[in-house]
Amino acid sequence: MSVANVLPGDVRPATSSVELSLSAKNLKDRDIITKSDPFAVLYAKTHAGWVEVGKTETKKDDLNPKWAKLFVIDYHFESVQQLKVDVYDHDSASPDKLKEQDYIGGADFTLGKLMGAPGQSGSFLLTRGKDKSKHQGSLLVRAEEIKTSSEMARLRFSAAALANMDGMFSKSDPFLAISRLREDGSSWTQVYRTETIDNNLNPNWKRFELPLQQLCNGDHSRALKLEIFDEDRGGKAELIGHVQSSLEEIMGKRGTNFILHNEALQKKKGKKYTNAGLLVVAEVDIYREHSFIDFLRGGLEMNLIIGIDYTASNGPPTDSRSLHFIDPRGPNQYQHAITSTVTILQEYDSDKKFPVYGFGGIPPGAHDVDHCFALNLNPSDPEVVGSQGVLQVPYGCLCWLPNIELTCPIHDYYSSIQHRWAMFAYTVLPSLLRNTHSLLTILPYMYLTLTVSHVV
């Protein structure tokens, strides 16, 4: 499950961050034969207008969807933060093309109204068009303040002897869904769903990782519900079994199992019922995901290497349309890119010295195209000092061949620089400093800036 993040309105320090979950009830069916396949789009209103925060997943044939995707929004008590949710019936292969989808209805509200409601939950009528009296269903939005945590959970589950929900001639197609209890205990929010394994009563699901903030909002004792479903055709799901636990208890169950329960199956089978199967905790591990600041505190230093594109695809430097054109009225696109990129990165390089290379051009005194030549014309010491040093070397030192054309993918041209950067990273840096991060910044014609990082 992906999590979207947005800061509505003007950028300012956030009071806190909240997590929004969406569900809907009694949606107007837009399909004739089957039921609608709804998904929701969340928008935030900024000074520039409505901005899309993100989309939920699509729920197949479901007029009462509970979407799993969560949205994280910075909450400012002192600001009016307007939000809008539009619900669509998925009719096109491209959900990004909203005009090709069948619009069900929308609702708008303020984040303040939601946060001020009992349990930080709000129900809003979905309407479409100018006639607000024609309801298309209701939208339920729940908010919960996020407890900041840098911890991650690495989990892997399997199951054994699951109850077969598909009869004698087939087997269940199980997937595992994990939900957490809301802080007020009012409802459950799904936080993760595994892949479906077809025709298997002893599934072994793939390992996955979740931020603890997402899994249990940083609370190891927060109630979690683990449910195994049989996925049927059309995306429908039938409960096989469930168990309620917590991360703390799951940690203690490493290598063992939970007994799964299914009350409906128990009622149906009577005395023949034992359980709905076993949920095995194959792996569970909690670790801290380090931030960039953590690495800096640990002594991280960056060594920057720069490569600049001199192929004819840029156009001759005498042409005002060329990216290399020296404009007396102001910097060109390369100069803008160099200044904005290097000015930031040089602050993490202690001596602010870095080699600068060109590719796709013919340096002075050479007859062939060179794809890795020092722009200061000193191959033994290609370093310059600071962003101004970079700006001073690329122009005037290069003989230009205007008939050079880009006849192969651009990475073929700058692969020589990549090779030199890799050799530098593996041979020179380890002897200088263990905690070094080598950054190769390439300024090609097609992308202008591309940053590749490598940890030694």
Which domains occur in the chain, in start order? 3-145 (2.60.40.150), 151-288 (2.60.40.150), 293-455 (no CATH)
**Mean pLDDT for the stretch of residues 160-174:** 90
Could you tell me where the beta strands, DSSP code E, fall in 318-380?
353-359, 373-374
The answer to whether the beta carbons of residues 51 and 43 sit under 8 Å apart is: yes
% of the chain at pLDDT higher than 70: 78
Could you tell me where the beta strands, DSSP code E, fall in 298-426?
301-309, 353-359, 373-374, 383-385
The answer to whether the beta carbons of residues 2 and 129 sit under 8 Å apart is: no
Residue type, 395: Y
How far is residue 353's CA from residue 341's CA, in Å, rounded to a whole number?
14
The answer to whether the beta carbons of residues 175 and 229 sit under 8 Å apart is: yes
Q: How many separate helices (H) and strands (E) can be counted in the chain?
A: 9, 23
Per-residue b/e over 201-238, b at no fewer than 16 CB within 10 Å? bebebeebebbbbbbbbbbbebbbbbbbbbbeeeeebe
Helical residues (DSSP H) of 37-125, grouped into ranges: 111-116
> What is the pLDDT at residue 422?
65
Return the DSSP state at 100: G
The answer to whether the beta carbons of residues 393 and 356 sit under 8 Å apart is: yes
73 versus 236: the higher-pLDDT residue is 73
Separation in Å, CA 31 to CA 103, 125, 256, 278, 422: 12, 20, 46, 39, 56
pLDDT at 396 over 60: no
**Mean pLDDT for the stretch of residues 411-434:** 56
183 versus 132: the higher-pLDDT residue is 183
> What is the pLDDT at residue 440?
47
432 versus 297: the higher-pLDDT residue is 297
**Mean pLDDT for the stretch of residues 229-243:** 88
> What is the pLDDT at residue 394?
56
% of the chain at pLDDT higher than 90: 41
> What is the pLDDT at residue 280?
98
> What is the pLDDT at residue 432?
44
> What is the pLDDT at residue 424?
59
304 versus 209: the higher-pLDDT residue is 209
Residues facing 50 on adjacent strands? 45
Q: Residue 95 — very low, low, confident or very high, per pLDDT cuts 50/70/90? A: low
Q: Residue 125 — very low, low, confident or very high, per pLDDT cuts 50/70/90? A: very high
**Mean pLDDT for the stretch of residues 134-159:** 91
Encode pLDDT of 425-453 as tens digits. 555 544 444 444 444 454 444 333 333 33
pLDDT at 123 over 50: yes
Residues facing 106 on adjacent strands? 86, 127
Q: State phi, psi for 234 to the nearest 5 degrees.
A: 80, 5
> What is the pLDDT at residue 324?
66
Encode pLDDT of 6-53 as tens digits. 443 334 444 588 999 999 999 998 777 778 899 999 999 998 899 999
